[in-house]
Amino acid sequence: MLIFYKNLQTLCKKISYKLNTKSHEIKIEKYHNGEYIVKFKKSLINKKIILFFNLCKPININIIKCNFIINFIHQAQAKHITLISPYIGYCRQDRPTDTNNNLIAAKLLAQLLETAGLNKIITIDIHSEQIAGFYKIPLINIKTTTIIKKLIQATHSKVIFPDTGSFNRFKNISSLTTHTLNKTRTNNKITLNKTAIIKHNNVIIIDDILDTGATLTATLKQIKSAHIYMYISHITNYNAQILKNNKIKKIFTTNTIQHTQYYKKLTQIDISKLIIKKIHHDKNIH
């Protein structure tokens, strides 16, 4: 059974249409004192549930809501619960932030989801693959390298990685013409180590997350090319100034995060086929 929360409704509807199956909305309402209550009328007894819920902004509220929904489904005696969350919040907090803070937020989130009753989680281009080690349940990371390769071929571009993290994340395409920059972060300020200015007719900058845009803005300063493209797996902030940067010819992203803001240079690529392929190959979720 496919169940969705409103923040991933569009993607779930696309997938349910392609699978020729129904999807059902699960709702969360509030009491007068602000406490949440989950609303869903259909029986879940002995059902294999695929829950579409994105752990994106507002991240802290959504974590609470998602855990409530998972536990609601678990207590309703569902046989198996798979969470499809294309973006997982706190994915960049996979280690202590400093010597005085031993909290690993990504690990705590894993423990919360498991305690609620989750059996499996599926995501897209996770920022840190070591996060899978925080889970006792399977975490399936679907990579969008097939999409990226098609974009590189279509734009005839040299690939630019803003940092080694981005390179390692998408290393399956590293056999192509690539250039990796060296990034340092000091007090939330991004700087790139001195390197040669990149000159190439077409380049495509590849990264997984656009939030403040600081890393990508610093990267742009190193490039002197006729046509600059970008591929970002997850745009978490559609108000980022870089989306309006005149140096960029086109920005490609996925529909992992629902949004209502559109820009002429922004092209959204559907990832529903990648998720459907994973669903078809997993006996535990169908």
One-letter amino acid for residue 234 of the chain: H
Written out in words, the top-level CATH class of the domain with range 2-143+274-285 is alpha beta
- The predicted-structure confidence for 141-178, as pLDDT tens digits, reads as follows 999 999 999 999 999 888 888 888 888 888 777 555 55
- The predicted-structure confidence for 197-222, as pLDDT tens digits, reads as follows 667 789 999 999 999 998 888 888 88
Question: What's the rounded Cα separation, in Å, for the pair 62 and 166?
Answer: 27
Residue with tokens 């040299």, as numbered in its chain: 158
Torsion 159-163-166-167 (CA) sign: positive
Question: What's the rounded Cα separation, in Å, for the pair 51 and 93?
Answer: 24
pTM for this prediction: 0.90
- The predicted-structure confidence for 40-57, as pLDDT tens digits, reads as follows 999 999 999 999 999 999
Q: What is the CA radius of gyration of the chain?
A: 20
The CB density around residue 267, as the number of other CB atoms within 10 Å, is 13
- The predicted-structure confidence for 226-282, as pLDDT tens digits, reads as follows 899 999 999 999 888 888 888 999 999 999 998 877 788 999 999 999 999 999 877
- pLDDT exceeds 90 at position 117: yes
- Residues near 26 by beta carbon (within 8 Å), at least 6 away in sequence: 3, 4, 5, 38, 39, 40, 51, 69, 72
Fold assignment, 145-269: Rossmann fold (3.40.50)
- pLDDT exceeds 70 at position 185: no
Phi/psi for 173 (5° steps) reads -105, 10
- Residues near 1 by beta carbon (within 8 Å), at least 6 away in sequence: 24, 42, 44, 47, 48, 49, 50
One-letter amino acid for residue 254 of the chain: T
Torsion 117-169-197-177 (CA) sign: negative
Does the N-terminal peptide bond of residue 58 adopt cis geometry, omega within 30 degrees of 0? yes
Name the segment(s) of the chain with CATH classification 3.40.50.2020: 2-143+274-285, 145-269
